[in-house]
Amino acid sequence: MAHEVSPLKPAEIPSLPPVDGVRMAVAEAGIKYKGRKDVLLMVFDPGTTVAGVLTRSKCPSAPVEWCRDKLSGGEARALVVNSGNANAFTGMKGRDAVATTARVAAEAVGCEVAEVFLASTGVIGEPLDPAPFETVLGGLAKQAKPDGFADAASAIMTTDTFPKRATAKVDIDGTEVTICGIAKGAGMIAPDMATMLGFIVTDAPIAAPALHKLLKRLTRDSFNAITVDGDTSTSDTVLLFATGKAAERGAPLIDDAKDKRLKAFRRALGTVMGELARMVARDGEGATKFVTVEVGGAKSKKSAKRIAMAIANSPLVKTAVAGEDANWGRVVMAVGKAGEPAERDRLAIWFGDIRVAVDGERDPEYSEKTVSAYMKTPEIVIRVDLGIGDGKARVWTCDLTHGYIAVNADYRS
């Protein structure tokens, strides 16, 4: 089912440069969609390390369970991703499909089965036939090339209306390294670790334990700071691969996430992850408004995050934004229901730079005309100050429209 491109699509989505030690190819396997690419194979040079964060859903997909088991090895040679079928809630058939796919990929690439990572996205509960992978993976391994990121980002889409890509270049101890990332996600987005799917590659030489600490830490303020509909996917997976090829140009091997030489890299990786995460929120199913929720003055950062998510996930707040209604009373409601420390008479609320409530009541200078004009803009900032501490947090979401219902009412059709 094709969907109109989101009006919130960024004006420019960057082309991604090759990353030393990474090649990729895509194929049309007919898993669900006809006439479009739906399988991605990434091939990594020997010595590539890997880290991942995976959904905390108690009903994880078979690929998530596979990755969770294999991440402890810390090494990767291949990634296989398919769209159209999540291979979730598929019992032994799902596990068998994963095992078959990994075996075929390992044979095609020439690596150990434990060095193959898998991800699937799409319909839950439908068995995934591994036969298409057996048909296409051998050819993809031979066709894989370094400059395939554009096709890769498109092949992993489901209800996404545009591909999500981000990149950065940064020095590690005087040697330039590259970071490239792709992601997908538009619905079932309330990550409890990551987004629906995200894959980041770099040629930096970073040991797997350090890579994992970096990814886990940066996920908190990127992929774990977005929500579209409050629903956490069974398939959420973010994997970070480091080929280490920059070592051939003089980059040092880093085995400690706190190494000072990683300062610029850490900042650049966080930027790439943040850009990808915000693109997911911008592409929320049926979205017409991109919403930033900022909470300050809370008892703690954790408390601020929970309150921000309560606001961002509120259907009443989201529909008010869709209707361009500055209904700050719904923001008050969301703060109050969050279950976090709050004092009504210290609360202040802004829409953009316009303060609409202060000291527990409507701002004396409140102007319906001024705030209504602001609500017509495509990007809305809702800011709350609780006035009881130093905790602060920022999350991103979108509005809730009839379009969301239209997309999800016939998702399996």
What distances in angstroms separate CA 378 from CA 7, 8, 18, 159, 402, one per listed residue? 9, 7, 34, 21, 17
Whose CA is closest to 278, among 164, 153, 152, 399?
164
Number of other residues whose CB lies within 10 A of the CB of residue 134: 17
195 is catalytic: yes
Angle between helix 301-312 and 315-322 (nearest 10): 60
Residue 319 annotated as lining a ligand binding site: no
Residue reference for tokens 């591909």: 163
Residue 376 annotated as lining a ligand binding site: no
Specify burial of residue 136 (Cβ count, 10 A radius: 0-12, 13-18, 19+).
buried
CA 248 vs. chain centroid, Å, equals: 31
Label the pairing between strands 116-123 and 78-85.
parallel
Give the three-state DSSP class for 98: helix
Of 49, 159, 167, 195, the catalytic one is: 195
Whose CA is closest to 392, among 334, 340, 326?
340
**Residue type (1 letter), 205:** P
Residue 285 annotated as lining a ligand binding site: yes
Residue 142 annotated as lining a ligand binding site: no
Residue 87 annotated as lining a ligand binding site: no
CA 233 vs. chain centroid, Å, equals: 11
Residue 184 annotated as lining a ligand binding site: yes
* 317 neighbors 263 (Cβ within 8 angstroms): no
- Which segments are annotated as binding site? 158, 184, 195, 285, 408, 413
- Which segments are annotated as binding site for substrate? 158, 184, 195, 285, 408, 413
Catalytic residues: 195
